[in-house]
Structure 1
Amino acid sequence: MNRFRKAVEARDVEALEQSLAPDIVFHSPVRFHPYVGRAAVGAVLRAVIRVFEDFRYTGELHGDADTALVFRAKVGDLELEGIDLGTVDPSTDLVTHLTVFVRPLSAAQALAAAVGKELGQR
């Protein structure tokens, strides 16, 4: 998740998209069905980068196969906490699975509305 983290921290959307496996599976904190594929996930993450303010990683936890990147950010005037839980294919150094958790509910709802607006959804 090192490559992914560096791209996010630099707000480098091109590098971020290139850190994703072509067939990545992304579980959003606000959508039941996953997004699949680099193009779909890249579009969502680009919108999130535009929406988040004061984004910063505050911790990193390592498991056998997964890494959790703990973060804080703001959406409008709401502060949120979250985790990017990712799996990286060691042979390609690309993120194959990404699940994002966000709290509190009010911030998750604001995030859903703001990202939906960025993506042109209602």
Structure 2
Amino acid sequence: MTATERYREGGEKADLDLVLSAFAEDAVLISPLTDRARFTGKAEIAKIVAVAFARIEGMRFHTDTGDEHTRALVYTGRINGVPIEEAAVARLNEDGLIQELTLFVRPLPALVELMGAFGPELARRNDRPGAAKALGLLVKPLIGMVRGGDRFALPLVMPRRRRAPAAD
């Protein structure tokens, strides 16, 4: 089984050990939120994967494409009831293990939900309860703005649709 096959199967089964077996010991996972957040080594990667398993529901991969050096993987699921689609670019080492994994998330409401769920949980798992509480409070206005914008502002930029005449 290849590294990306183990990563996909482990993700769908929420099997932390199987996912970690896909990574090189000194692998780097790059956050979808910022280039400043990098998780280096299996111990750090294990924490973020464990949070993903606790927060993302129904993870199902639908794409794994590329070559023996670089693969693109995509799954869908839900976070806090919001549909999420995450793409990952996996750069493989000479042993075929994931050396670097860069994550990308869409749509924006899912990315903000991810920020609100992952930040505080990672802070808690890193024994920083005060930071967890602060992060939870800081992201609440952003979540509210994005939810409101998605629900109320987005229709304002969409083309007008004619309503069908009512049937008698």
The two structures have a TM-score, normalised by structure 1, of 0.88
Percentage of matched positions with identical amino acids: 26
CA shift for structure 1 position 64: 5.7
Unpaired runs of at least 5, structure 1: none
Partner residue in 2 for 1:71? 75
User: What is the CA–CA distance in structure 2 between the aligned matches of 1:116 and 1:74, rounded to whole Å?
Assistant: 17
The answer to which structure has the higher helix fraction is: 2
For 2:92 and 2:10, the matched residues in 1 are separated by 15
Instruction: Tell me if 1:35 matches 2:39.
Output: yes
Distance 1:109 1:28 in 2: 13
Alpha-carbon RMSD across the aligned residues, in angstroms, is 1.6
Equivalent-residue separation in structure 2 for 1:74 and 1:22 (angstroms): 29
Runs of 4+ in 1 over 4 A off after TM superposition: none
User: What one-letter code is carried by the residue in structure 2 that aligns with 1:57?
Assistant: F
Q: Which has the larger radius of gyration?
A: 2
Correspondence for 1:5: 8
SS of equivalent to 1:15: helix
Deviations 1:3-25 (A, max 9, x none): 22222122111222232111111
Three-state SS of the structure 2 residue aligned to 1:49 is helix
The alpha-carbon deviation at position 107 of structure 1 amounts to 0.7
CA distance in 2, matches of 1:72, 1:56: 5
Q: 1:58 aligns with which of 48, 57, 62?
A: 62
Q: Counterpart amino acid of 1:22?
A: E
Which residue type is aligned with residue 81 of structure 1?
E
Note the residue ranges of structure 2 that are not aligned, 5 or more in a row.
125-131, 136-168
Alpha carbons of structure 1 residues 15 and 64: separation in structure 2 relative to 1, 3 Å: closer
Q: Secondary structure at the match of 1:29?
A: coil
2:68/2:92 contact within 8 Å kept: no
The TM-score, its normalising length taken from structure 2, stands at 0.66
**Which residue in the other structure is 2:111 paired with?**
108
**Alignment length (residue pairs):** 121
Are the aligned partners of 1:4 and 1:95 in contact in 2 as well (CA < 8 Å)?
Answer: no
Higher strand share: 1
